[in-house]
Chains A and B, each alone.
Chain A
Amino acid sequence: MIELRNVRHRYGEREVLRGIDLTLAERRVAIVGSNGSGKSTLARLLNGLLLPDEGRVLVDGLDTRGDARAVRRKVGFVFQDPDVQIVYPTVAEDIAFGLKNLRLPRDEIARRVDAVMARFGLTEHRDWPAHRLSGGQKQLLAIASVLVLDPAYVVFDEPTTLLDLRNRRRIAGVIRNLPQTALLISHDLDLVAEAERVIVLDEGRVVADDAPAAAIANYVARMG
C-alpha cells in the first residue's frame, strides 16, 4: 500500500502539488490530468526520486524520507522515453545493470536476466545494441530492466506515448498481465479505462477519484 499524506511540492516559488491525500491499495490505479498538472512530480515522489516539501509518502509503511534505498527496491519506475533509461549498450547488459547494483552473485544475475529476456521475447536480441531495437522493443527492454529487480510496485509514466498503435497494444498487454501493483500515468484513455481506479489531477490537486467511466467522463468534461 502506498500512502500520501497532505503532500505538497514546489519547484522554486511554484507550487505544483497542493495537498494530496491518497491511499493506493488497488492493483491498477491510473492517473490522468492535463500537461503540467503534476502527474510526473507525483510519480517521482512515490519512489523517493523527489522528496515532498511537506507531508509524507509511505510505501508499505516506509517513509521515502527515511530509507530511500529500501523504497526504491520496492517501487520500480518506467519512464516515457526508453532512450533515457537504457544505460548499457546492449540488451542483456542493460537488464543486468540494476542487479549488479544490488551486488548479487554473477550466476544469479545471469539466471534472472535470461528469465526476463525469455518472458519479454528479447532472448534473440540479447547482444543487440539497444539503438538497433524498435521503439516498442526499447520500451519492452526498459520494462524488463525494471521487472528483473522484482519490485512490488511499478510506476509507469506515460509508457506508450512515443509508440505506434501496435507497440502501444503490446505494452498495454504487458501491463495488463503484470502480477505487480501498477500505477499508470497516461494520456491514452483506452489504457486508463482498464484500471480499477482513476485519479484526475488538475493544477496540483485531486479533482476526481472514481471508477474509470466516471473519472474519465469528469476529465473529458474538464478538457472540453
Chain B
Amino acid sequence: MLGLYLHRDSPVHAFPVGWKLAALAVAATGLFFVASPVAIGAALAGTLLLFALARLPLGAILGQIRPLLPVLVLLFAVQAAFVGWETGAATAGRLALLVLLASLVTLTTRASDMIDALERGLGWLRPLGVNAGKVSLMLALTIRLIPVLLDLVQEIRMAQRARGVERSALALLVPLLVKTMRMADHLSDALEARGYDPR
C-alpha cells in the first residue's frame, strides 16, 4: 500500500495534499458512526468513482484489496453467523472502504508531498518540542524501509530453510535484529554523509 504513487493528470492528484489527508482522517472516523450497509455501499461506490476520476487502472484497486480478501470474507462470515448479515456486510464494507480510501490517497500523492504536508502541519507544535523535520524524515524512512525489511525477512527465512530450520520465531528474530541494527548504523552514516542535521 505504501510508496506506490501512480502519476496521472487528474483532479484527485491535483487536490491539495493537506486536504486529502484531512478528508481521509474525517472519513475514517466518520465510518464508525455509519452502520447501514446501504450507506456503506453508497460510500464504496463513491470511492470507486473517485478511483475512476483519478484515472487509476482497475488493477490498482484490485491489488489493494486482494491481500485483504480472506480477512474480509472471514469477518463477514463470522459476523453474519453470530450477529446478522447486515452487521457482517457493514463491518467488511467498512474495512474495505478504509483500505481503499487510504490507498486512493497514497496512489495519488507523492510520498514527498505527504511528508512535506506533514512537516508544515506539525510546524506549530515546535514550541512543544516537536521537531517536524525529524518526524517527517522518520515517516519517509519508515515508508522506504518496509520493503527492505520484508526482503530481509525473506532472505533470512530462505537461508534458514536451506539449513533445515523451519518456521521458528526466535531463529528469525535474532538475525533480523542483528541485521537491522547494522543497517541502522549504516543508515545514520549515510544520513550524516548527505548533510542531514537534525535541529
Contact = CB atoms under 8 A, between A and B. Distances in A.
Do A and B actually bind?
Answer: yes
Interface of A: 44, 47, 49, 69, 72-73, 76-77, 79, 81, 83-90, 92-93, 96-98, 101-102, 127, 129-131, 145-146, 149
Nearest to A49: B189
A84 B190 contact: yes
Interface residues of B, number: 28
A72 B144 contact: no
Given A127-B7, A130-B144, A131-B3, A88 B191 contact: no
B184 to A, nearest CB: 9
B186 interface: yes
Given A79-B186, A101-B197, A131-B151, A87 B191 contact: yes
A25 to B, nearest CB: 23
A89 B3 contact: yes
Contact of A72 (B137, B183, B186, B195): B195
Contacts of B110: 90, 93, 127
Contact of B3 (A49, A83, A90): A90
B141 interface: yes
Contacts of B151: 131
B143 interface: yes
Contacts of A90: 3, 5, 110-112
A101 B195 contact: yes
Interface of B: 2-5, 7, 110-112, 137, 140-141, 143-144, 147-148, 151, 183, 186-187, 189-197
Given A77-B193, A85-B190, A96-B112, 18 more contacts: A49-B189, A49-B193, A69-B197, A72-B195, A79-B189, A87-B137, A87-B141, A87-B187, A87-B194, A88-B140, A88-B144, A89-B140, A89-B143, A90-B110, A127-B7, A129-B147, A131-B3, A145-B194
Contacts of A87: 137, 140-141, 144, 187, 190-191, 194
A93 B140 contact: yes
A89 B148 contact: no
Nearest to A155: B193
21 contacts: A44-B189, A49-B189, A49-B193, A69-B197, A72-B192, A72-B193, A72-B195, A73-B195, A76-B193, A79-B189, A84-B183, A84-B186, A86-B144, A89-B140, A89-B144, A93-B110, A96-B112, A97-B194, A127-B7, A129-B3, A131-B3
A46 B151 CA distance: 32
Contacts of A130: 3, 144
B106 to A, nearest CB: 10
A89 B5 CA distance: 10
Contacts of A86: 144
A171 to B, nearest CB: 17
Given A47-B193, A129-B147, A93 B112 contact: yes
B137 to A, nearest CB: 8
A76 B193 CA distance: 7
A98 B195 contact: yes
Contacts of A69: 195, 197
